[in-house]
Amino acid sequence: MTLSILNGLVFLLFISDALASLNVLNAVSNLGVRPIQKTLADSKDFVEIAAENGYFAEVHEVVTEDGYILKMFRIPPRNNCTKKVPILLMHGLLQVAECFLDAGPEAPGFLLAEECYDSWFGNVRGNYHSRRHKTLNPDEDLKFWQFSVDEIGKYDVPAMVDYVLDATAMKQLIYLGFSQGGLTYFIMNSERPEYVKKIKLFLGLAPGSREYHSRSKEVRVAANLINSLRIPLEAAGVWEVLSQGFPIQGALSTLCTVELLSAVVCGLVKTSVDSSHPGSVTPETQKRLFQHAPAGTSVQNLAWFGQAVNSLKFSKFDFGRVKNMQVYGKSTPPEYDIGASKSPAVIFHGNGDHLVDTKDVSWAVEQLPNVLEFYVAEDPLWNHSDICYSRYWKDVIFGTMKKYLNQYDHIDDN
């Protein structure tokens, strides 16, 4: 199967996902229920993955100011551990918290737990762990899905920061954000600067912001398509895309359980949206990756990325001139102030990253007032998925990360 054919397959799966969402929602609209989503028999959730690696994990619920009910996981430190500042890990676009465990015993989440960190793992609104609201029904209410990174950064991230600090009786935490998880950190600080004092150290793993130079053709095409079709899609009842169990996730998770197909098809799918780095992500990790992702988000959130890849600005959602006047009081969306993120920051990146390009990460780094180090992996093939899933994560990323963790994990000034 050539790469061009595979790219076409990915695109067709994406379109079929949207169409299936429409057909399913129409079919069940009179019943007011959502069909049970399919998962593989051997697919494990966060608690199960933690247990099979020798860790106990807790499940927590956080309610945002605007009523979204978010699921969080925690791997508490073992009894023989010295108490440290807690760490909050936030996943990227279309992911769930399991992304930090999928790479096995030396995955980021387990390495931090092994170092005695009180590790908390967030899930943002709209993914399959956080598909709940106090009053809105995600199967019936468009309002549930009228969100993008704007709301995730303004409401979800602050709610989870506060929850962790309250649960641990601490005043500060360490924030680790991968991709969208870094982008929404910048939004939080821009929108709610009082949270700066709650972050002792920011660890940005290929953090998003401006997305103009993204080299992923498939992501650019899909995001642009969703942005151009957002209003008719929402009018037709398609509010949620790329969710667990629908065509693209179901097909990939099934194919990736077949040993021969996993290396060829699933490896090429991952490469088609990022770049190639042979051998960096193991077949077993790849299998788990596609069992947990794509994890679902709103049409509006993907539309935000469709706007971002065409702009040199890091701005709020663009509703169009008329609605922008109603929402923002001006015809164009306001820009976010990355400089408001004043906490000490360490940024990690790879020059092989086709999703979050080095030019855009460098631009964000230039705006940050307190960067301790901008670490670029020596391996020129180090790409976006490597930042979370590589078998070499411990050697390439964690060594440098530990240096700064050791400087900022003490609780004597909390």
Choosing from 384, 385, 386, 409, the catalytic residue is: 384
Choosing from 353, 357, 360, 409, the catalytic residue is: 353
Choosing from 43, 130, 148, 179, the catalytic residue is: 179
User: Is 179 an active-site residue?
Assistant: yes
Per-residue H/E/C for the chain: CCHHHHHHHHHHHHHHHHHHHHHHHHHHCCCCCCCCCCCCCCCCCHHHHHHHCCCCCEEEEEECCCCEEEEEEEECCCCCCCCCCCEEEECCCCCCHHHHCCCHHHCHHHHHHHCCCCEEECCCCCCCCCCEECCCCCCCCHHHHCCCHHHHHHHHHHHHHHHHHHHHCCCCEEEEEECHHHHHHHHHHHHCHHHHHHEEEEEEECCCCCCCCCCCHHHHHHHHHHHHHHHHHHHCCCCEECCCCCHHHHHHHHHCCCHHHHHHHHHHHHHHHCCCCCCCCCHHHHHHHHHHCCCCEEHHHHHHHHHHCCCCCCECCCCCHHHHHHHHCCCCCCECCHHHCCCCEEEEECCCCCCCCHHHHHHHHHHCCCEEEEEECCCCCCCCCHHHHCCCHHHHHHHHHHHHHHHHCCCCCC
User: Is 29 an active-site residue?
Assistant: no
User: Is 262 an active-site residue?
Assistant: no
- Provide the annotated active-site residues: 179, 353, 384
